């Protein structure tokens, strides 16, 4: 509602009333809000694209530069044995190049699949799928997983994404468990101010957010000596969530545990 | 070709293929006597910090080639900690950042640091490497 008015004076210059118009500007307001939302989406897409271009350039460069080095060196080494050794390095490069391309493909797929149909997905059945697919490491680590989805049993989402997000967060919670205790993971969903949330809380070794906070969701960033740490999981998770206009937050205390919170 | 004047060089890089290739070049061209390799910043800074306690001159490298993107501890964090102890060594240590990042932000940031001699973009070429070893403190 917008009100515009002017005072009305009598002959003695005294205010005797107000004359004006009340106007319904609901439509305009709604348009501004929609516009702002569109602009936010474009800004976030743009920053993801920029980030992606950077990743492509950096990750591919490291392989091509190794190839360049090899071709230089092949001329310089004398024996056949040494030349064969270099050939086997080319095989290694080709393998890592393939892995990199696979990762990049996975990211591109995320960016283009946002139009994919959302369905009503149940949290508990998604969690069950995740538990089934990583039953081995759950048993091995004696992990306890408690899911409470009573406040929000299901959401409209791309089913494969929700599964991949839960899989990544649960696997991480187990991978980075505290050395002195079995992992305990609490997962719950809820509604706050009309927004849908999912929280995954663990009692693991925690992350030094001051040191690593800004790199946590970066590609190929790993902070542990774990052999199987590749540094792609949280990057993919963040991309999946953001491609559907959600957000992911992290809170962590070293030696106590980590909580990931997703706003859908 | 000059005989090597560099006794000990150090590579800090997590890319195994790259490290093997540089090692091969250094061996083939006989650029230095000994080579130390660390897979990330943490391993190497722990080595240098321990060296502070027990200063052995022949364990201090004359040249360091440092990568930026590494797991566990990256090159930036290494530089931050290395700069604090660098001057306590009784030997001149020349440090080159070697990265595949062509991001001007990275290049300028590295070049602005007093402990960084130069920023080399991968792939480094063999003659460039030879030059560095022939006049390391120049």
Q: Which residue ranges make up each domain of chain B?
A: 6-134
Asked if A223 and B71 come within 8 Å (Cβ–Cβ), the reply is yes
Q: Which positions in chain A have a beta carbon within 8 angstroms of at least one beta carbon in chain B?
A: 54, 57-58, 61-62, 64-66, 68-70, 72-73, 76-77, 82, 85-86, 89, 92-93, 96, 211, 220-225, 229, 231
Nearest chain B CA: its distance from A115 CA (Å): 33
Task: Judge whether B45 and B72 are in contact, CB under 8 Å.
Answer: no
Asked if A62 and B124 come within 8 Å (Cβ–Cβ), the reply is no
Length of chain A: 264
Percent of chain B whose pLDDT exceeds 70:
94
| φ and ψ of A149, to 5 deg | -120, 25
Helix (H) or strand (E) holding A196: strand A195-202
Question: Any CB–CB contact under 8 A between B125 and chain A?
Answer: yes
Give B15's pLDDT tier (boundaries 50, 70, 90).
Answer: confident
Q: Which residues pair with A82 in a beta bridge?
A: none
* Closest chain A residue to B15, measured at CA: A62
Nearest chain B CA: its distance from A148 CA (Å): 34
Using CB atoms, which residue from B20, B77, B126 is nearest to A72?
A: B126
- Six-digit token pair at B8? 């000990």
Q: Is the pLDDT of residue B81 over 60?
A: yes
Q: What pTM was computed for the model? A: 0.66
Number of H helices, E strands in chain A: 7, 9
Mean predicted confidence (pLDDT) in B54-79: 85
Check the CA dihedral A130-A132-A136-A139 and report its sign: positive
Asked if A89 and B21 come within 8 Å (Cβ–Cβ), the reply is yes
Using CB atoms, which residue from B25, B101, B126 is nearest to A58?
A: B101
Print pLDDT tens along chain A (264 aa): 788 888 888 888 888 888 888 888 888 888 998 888 888 778 877 777 777 777 777 778 878 888 888 888 888 888 888 888 888 888 888 888 888 788 778 777 776 766 667 888 899 888 888 888 887 788 888 888 888 999 999 998 888 788 888 888 888 888 888 888 888 999 999 999 889 999 999 998 888 777 776 677 766 666 555 545 556 778 888 888 888 888 888 888 888 888 899 999
Cα distances (Å, whole numbers) of residue B133 to A86, B1, B56, B116 = 23, 12, 22, 16
Cβ-based neighbour number of residue B22 at 10 Å: 25
Domains and CATH numbers, chain A: 28-114 (1.10.287), 117-263 (3.30.565.10)
Chain centroid, CA B32 distance in Å: 13
Q: Which one is the CATH code of B6-134: 3.30.420.40, 2.60.320.10, 3.40.50.2300, 3.30.70.141?
A: 3.40.50.2300
Give percent helix, percent strand, percent coil of chain B, each to the nearest 5. Answer: 45, 20, 35
Question: Any CB–CB contact under 8 A between B85 and chain A?
Answer: no
Lowest mean pLDDT among B26-30, B52-56, B76-80: B52-56
What is the distance between the alpha carbons of residues A52 and A107, in angstroms, rounded to a whole number?
Answer: 8
Mean predicted confidence (pLDDT) in B105-125: 87
Segment B1-13, tens digit of pLDDT: 455 578 889 999 9
Own/partner contacts of A75-83, CB < 8 Å, gap of 24 or more, are: A76/B25, A76/B28, A76/B29, A76/B126, A77/B24, A77/B28, A82/B24, A82/B28
What is the distance between the alpha carbons of residues B72 and B75, in angstroms, rounded to a whole number?
Answer: 10
Nearest chain A CA: its distance from B100 CA (Å): 6
Chain centroid, CA A261 distance in Å: 11
Burial of A194 (0-12, 13-18, 19+ CB in 10 A): exposed
Task: Judge whether A196 and A189 are in contact, CB under 8 Å.
Answer: yes
Cα distances (Å, whole numbers) of residue A28 to A21, A113, B57 = 17, 32, 75
Task: Judge whether A179 and A213 are in contact, CB under 8 Å.
Answer: no
What is the distance between the alpha carbons of residues A70 and A88, in angstroms, rounded to a whole number?
Answer: 11
Segment A227-259, tens digit of pLDDT: 455 567 788 888 888 888 888 888 888 888 888
Q: Looking at residue A220, what is its pLDDT? A: 62
What is the distance between the alpha carbons of residues B72 and A42, in angstroms, rounded to a whole number?
Answer: 34
Q: Looking at residue B12, what is its pLDDT? A: 93
Q: Which residues pair with A156 in a beta bridge?
A: A120
Predicted ipTM of the assembly: 0.72
């Amino acid at each position: 509602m917008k009100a515009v008015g002017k005072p009305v004076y009598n002959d003695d210059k005294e205010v005797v009333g107000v004359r004006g118009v009340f106007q319904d500007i609901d439509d305009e307001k709604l348009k501004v809000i929609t516009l702002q939302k569109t602009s936010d989406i474009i800004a976030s897409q743009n920053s993801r694209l920029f980030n992606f271009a950077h990743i492509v350039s950096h990750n591919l460069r490291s392989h091509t530069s190794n190839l360049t080095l090899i071709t230089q060196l092949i001329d310089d080494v004398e024996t056949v044995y040494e030349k064969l050794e270099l050939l086997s390095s080319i095989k290694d490069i080709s393998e890592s190049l393939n892995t990199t391309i696979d990762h990049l493909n996975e990211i591109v797929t995320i960016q283009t699949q946002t139009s994919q149909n959302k369905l009503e997905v149940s949290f508990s059945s998604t969690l069950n799928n995740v538990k089934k697919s990583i039953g081995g490491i759950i048993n091995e680590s004696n992990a306890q997983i408690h899911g409470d989805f009573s406040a929000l049993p299901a959401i409209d989402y791309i089913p494969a994404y929700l599964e991949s997000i839960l899989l990544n967060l649960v696997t991480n919670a187990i991978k980075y468990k505290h050395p002195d205790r079995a992992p305990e993971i609490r997962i719950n969903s809820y509604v706050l101010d009309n927004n849908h949330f999912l929280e995954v809380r663990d009692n693991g070794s925690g992350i030094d957010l001051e040191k690593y906070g800004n790199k946590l969701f970066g590609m190929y960033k790993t902070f542990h000596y774990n052999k199987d740490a590749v540094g792609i999981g949280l990057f993919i998770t963040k991309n999946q969530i953001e491609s559907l206009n959600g957000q992911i937050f992290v809170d962590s205390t070293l030696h106590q545990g980590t909580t990931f919170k997703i706003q859908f | 070709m000059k005989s090597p004047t560099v006794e000990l060089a150090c590579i800090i890089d997590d890319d195994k293929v790259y490290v093997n290739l540089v090692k091969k070049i250094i061996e083939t061209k006989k650029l230095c006597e000994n080579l130390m390799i660390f897979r990330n910043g943490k391993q190497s800074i722990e080595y240098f910090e321990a060296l502070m306690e027990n200063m052995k001159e022949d364990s201090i490298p004359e040249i360091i080639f440092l990568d930026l993107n590494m797991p566990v501890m990256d090159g930036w964090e290494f530089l931050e900690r290395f700069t604090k102890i660098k001057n306590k060594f009784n030997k001149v240590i020349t440090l080159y950042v070697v990265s595949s990042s062509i991001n001007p932000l990275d290049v300028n940031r590295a070049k602005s640091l007093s402990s960084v001699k130069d920023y080399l973009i991968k792939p480094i070429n063999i003659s460039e490497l030879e030059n560095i070893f022939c006049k390391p403190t120049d």
